[in-house]
Amino acid sequence: MFKKIVVLAALVSLFSFAAAAQDAKPKLIAIKAGSLIDTVNGRVLKDQVIIIEGERIKAVGPGLAIPEGADVIDLSNMTVLPGLSDAHVHISGDPTQGIRSRSTLSGVQLATTSHVFARRTLFAGFTTVRDLGSIEFVSLALKRAIDAGSVAGPRMLVANYYIGATGSPADIGGGSPLTGSKLPPEMTGVADGPDAIRQKVRWNIRLGADVIKFGASSGVLSDEKVVGVAKYTQEEMDALVDESTRLGVKVAAHSHGTDAIKMAVKAGVASIEHGSLIDDEGIRMMKQRGTYLSADIYVSDYILSEYSKRGVEEIVLQKERVVGQKQRENFKKAVEAGVKIAFGTDAGVYPHGMNGKQFAYMVQWGMTPMAAIQAATVNNADLFGMSDQIGSITAGKFADIIAVEGDPIANIKLLEDVKFVMKGGTVYKGAARR
Ligand code: ARG
């Protein structure tokens, strides 16, 4: 039954897309929402009407009159939410092609599959993502194709090249003796010393980076023996964040390590990615400075169960065993201490489209379902600098709207099965119309 509706909706949206092109006036849509999650106030509202004009929300409230000529989408037996977002994906990553696929395959190879992953992500209800590292500007090209309407996918913020020291997690695909040198060094994110780092930040931003990502500590999947070692000096991190911030671009720091986390927070990053071995002092610093924690607390299960079957080096699994469980325990401490939590999953390390799986882990490790939903909506919107565009169903924002069957506050796992997806006023998945 649902399949039929999906096909119908796809046809309807194709048709309405064509119709909108001929029609200068922006199309009006009215959504009847049985329940609506108000992410700004952390409440569930009943029987709301959302009026959409073109790509934006025009009005939302109980019992609003349905404008004449508006298409009506009846979600009165569903729970409606703002589109979800993921602060940490690698849309070009494909675990079935090897754990370092996004740096060892060519950009052309990655481009042939990345658009499929973008579509899967969107269809899972994720209407905005932050891509924290790709090579050869694959994600930038994809973002542009999505914005132009040629490819179905989420809104994207892209980091372009992941920046880091020689021998850091950024040192892949271009300069690592272990993965082979297929790109000239200037076409990688490797930079050592404050001046070279500043130059690399400028280059990345010059070429379209919306966010700067760097490797503050060693990682799990990268060619390093120990996870969590600081890979830049304080002076280097300060230079990187100073340069990027001055150019108006926020910084995300990959950091598992206790000291590296504090160094990055001190330098002024907007988010700590992973945060696995954070200590009480690090938690206090993040809370005090308002640094977001974007902890990918689902992916460990995938790595430990699936990667071993695929013959991934034992050292990688060993590093994962060091951080996986600790990361969850420390995440809980950070939540309890009131650190700001973003929703970031490292999709691409596990298959795209399963992003919603992390909600249940966040609830298991200390968050209320509402807070977990807020992490993936209003909090991420704030981290992305997009609070006026996304994150809630509010007049003036993009009509990025999803729905699930049932009550996700009672059963957070419903967010693993999103039934309706609208992005920018266009329906991509599942709508019963009349
Ligand atoms: N990209 C990360 C790294 O290589 C993945 C870490 C996954 N493990 C985890 N427990 N979050 O370090």
- Mean pLDDT of the 143-164 span: 97
Q: Lowest mean pLDDT: which of 173-177, 185-189, 228-232, 353-357?
A: 173-177
Interatomic CA distance for residues 361 and 98, integer angstroms:
25
Instruction: Specify the residue with its C-alpha closest to ligand 1, atom 10.
Output: 324
Q: Ligand 1 mean position to 220 CA, how many Å?
A: 5
Instruction: Specify the residue with its C-alpha closest to ligand 1, atom 11.
Output: 296
Ligand 1 atom showing the smallest separation from residue 218 Cα: 12
pLDDT at 12: 46
Q: Ligand 1 mean position to 102 CA, how many Å?
A: 15
pLDDT band at 173 (very low <50, low <70, confident <90, very high): low
- Mean pLDDT of the 252-259 span: 98
Interatomic CA distance for residues 286 and 293, integer angstroms:
8
Dihedral sign of CA atoms 233, 239, 244, 245 in order: positive
Hey, which residues does 402 pair with through a beta bridge? Answer: 81, 421
Q: Express each pLDDT in 182-217 by its tens digit.
A: 566 678 899 999 999 999 999 999 999 999 999 999
pLDDT at 97: 87
Nearest of 388, 378, 356 to residue 38 by alpha carbon: 378
What's the mean per-residue pLDDT of the chain? 92
Ligand 1 atom showing the smallest separation from residue 295 Cα: 11
Q: Going by C-beta distance under 8 Å and a sequence separation of 6 or more, which residues neighbour residue 241?
A: 251, 264, 267, 268, 269
Total-model pTM: 0.93
Burial label, 1 (beta-carbon count in 10 A; 0-12, 13-18, 19+): exposed
pLDDT band at 2 (very low <50, low <70, confident <90, very high): very low
CB 419 within 8 A of CB 376: no
Interatomic CA distance for residues 403 and 300, integer angstroms:
28
* Ramachandran region, residue 275 (left: φ > 0; alpha: ψ -120 to 50; beta: rest): left
Q: Ligand 1 mean position to 315 CA, how many Å?
A: 13
Is the pLDDT reported for residue 260 higher than 70?
A: yes
Q: Ligand 1 mean position to 430 CA, how many Å?
A: 34
Q: Which residue matches tokens 């899972």? A: 124
Taking residue 434's Cβ as centre, other Cβ atoms within 10 Å add up to 7
Q: Express each pLDDT in 321-378 by its tens digit.
A: 999 999 999 999 999 999 999 999 999 999 999 999 999 999 999 999 999 999 999 9
Q: How far is CA 211 from CA 49, 233, 245, 320, 418, in A?
A: 35, 21, 10, 26, 28
Q: Ligand 1 mean position to 337 CA, how many Å?
A: 23
Structural domains of the chain, with CATH: 25-82+392-429 (2.30.40.10), 84-353 (3.20.20.140)
Contacts 24+ apart (CB under 8 A), 181-190: 182/104, 182/106, 183/135, 183/136, 187/136, 188/135, 188/161, 189/133, 189/160, 189/161, 189/162, 189/163, 189/164, 189/214, 190/163, 190/164, 190/165, 190/166
Dihedral sign of CA atoms 244, 171, 330, 83 in order: positive
Is the pLDDT reported for residue 15 higher than 90?
A: no
Among 103, 221, 294, residue to substitute to test ligand 1 (most atoms within 8 Å of Cβ): 221
User: How much of the chain, in percent, has pLDDT values that exceed 90?
Assistant: 82
CB 72 within 8 A of CB 103: no
Q: Ligand 1 mean position to 305 CA, how many Å?
A: 14
Ligand 1 atom showing the smallest separation from residue 219 Cα: 12
Instruction: Specify the residue with its C-alpha closest to ligand 1, atom 5.
Output: 220
CB 348 within 8 A of CB 300: no
Q: Ligand 1 mean position to 48 CA, how many Å?
A: 40
Q: How far is CA 204 from CA 133, 134, 140, in A?
A: 11, 12, 11
User: How much of the chain, in percent, has pLDDT values that exceed 70?
Assistant: 91
The kind and range of the H/E element at 35 are strand 28-38
Ligand 1 atom showing the smallest separation from residue 327 Cα: 10
Angle at 421 between CA 361 and CA 75, to 5 degrees: 100
Structure tokens at 189: 């994110």
User: What lines the ligand 1 site, CB under 6 Å?
Assistant: 219-222, 274, 276, 296, 299-300, 303, 320, 323-324, 327, 346, 349
pLDDT at 116: 98
Q: Ligand 1 mean position to 304 CA, how many Å?
A: 11
Among 88, 172, 256, 325, residue to substitute to test ligand 1 (most atoms within 8 Å of Cβ): 256
Interatomic CA distance for residues 391 and 345, integer angstroms:
17
pLDDT at 186: 75
